[in-house]
Chain A
């Protein structure tokens, strides 16, 4: 995808590209979104990103567990169909 782009600019990846992408990442991270850009290093952004992704993984895991317990207590087709219908509408 963009590996071709980096090969064109030689072996060095443009600093501006990285700065732009890192700032986009910062916008997504709830922890450091509002802090001033000069105070947040790229290293910190990477670290926060890893932590954030891990916490998202944990949330998916918890939701899967919750859903597993909920779905095992309702009986077959009618209730599930009703739920799914209400979600799609």
Chain B
């Protein structure tokens, strides 16, 4: 009968018929009254969402204290019920660091060498660490493989609890330990990456330190192990920040798509889209996210990126349709309200956008895009202080990404606090040194501090990074414009002129650009070309005061330029003088009388014709001629 019930329970669980499973498990427990079956019943209740009942069964037996599996389940129940204190009490505060395995340790076991462990142990002297190490690997070997997984899971739960209590540093350490103990504990890894708890450099160091060799895919076939390790490593690489080491990233993607045909897997595609996004190639990135969502319409991992791209490329219609669809189908998903907020942001209805972003961030206080969007709404309205407050929250939540720091820096630049701005930007730069936008902002600070050589250097660097990223030049027009301005202020007018021309060629048609080009031309003492350029500025924005001022100035310069060359002038003068001499001669020679007559006669004709000659003030003389 027990066997029958067990198989019944198992099949019910696989079919997802949890009521049946509960019923059967209950009977099974009544039959055997074994701890094992109590645990199984608790697990079933957990799966069915009855966390309290699961807990009560777990607490009845004392297995919760002894078996890691039961402890894990109990803690999980607490976490699910948002009872983080209780969960922490149950889990204890200490991570089982003795179970940590690192990539070095595997090698070291063979070579009996020890040199530095996880970053925490660095301070300790070498000798104890060696003994510890020996102990540890033995301990680890002694532990049951499944227990190790539960220990990692508990580390993860600990991290979740800390994160809920807003102590992100401890949460981060817990997550890291969880992954170190069990590389396959993806939940913890996902939390680390999703919340950007580490900077791009840290992420890579962490990944290097992981011991993928500990993966044992199939006990029967040990030859598979290296391949599985490599595979997992590549999968993890696709989740890392896209700013550092694009080459490694590309090889990982390459391997995954060629060897394992994961090229069209949503996660791999998503990481591809992300890398396109970070290098400003929006249109192809959007093509990829669209493809992902075509296959899997409610892939919420992909959604924030898709929304960002739609916003960037100004597809308001698509945003509208998408947010309506999401609101109909998934009203309890923060992403839905992020979409609505993004739509309002795109259509420039800031107050609505703000309320929806705040709704999204209330639903999930750790939802980064919503926080950033929320802050953007303040920035869009020019409310610097509130924007800074909101960005700071985002910066606290997502310590690993440079974006909130960058935005903070931008806000401070807007407020004119250059020193503070520089601090924020330096922090951001320490987190990520490959973002053209960030380097552009640093250049702006240098520009505003009148350090033009440094500004020029930064703008050039930003442009060269963008070029390395194969970003379309249209995306970097503003950096190029900044470069042009910096060159102008640095007195390198010819180069500045080239850059301005390039900016105009790239299609930026603002009066300021033409006005600045005019200014450079004025500096180069080409008032005519300057005038032409300033006219273009005024054609775009007729009321531009700067362009008007400059135009007046350059026209005044033009006034003093003559119309004739010296030689021509002389020829005309000589001609006129000769004529004058002739006239005087004539006057001397001729008698008065015939002249008078002629004059009288001709005057009548003249009167009939009416006054002729040049009518300079008249309006329509040379018209249509």
Same assembly: no
A residues in contact (CB < 8 Å) with B: none
B residues in contact (CB < 8 Å) with A: none
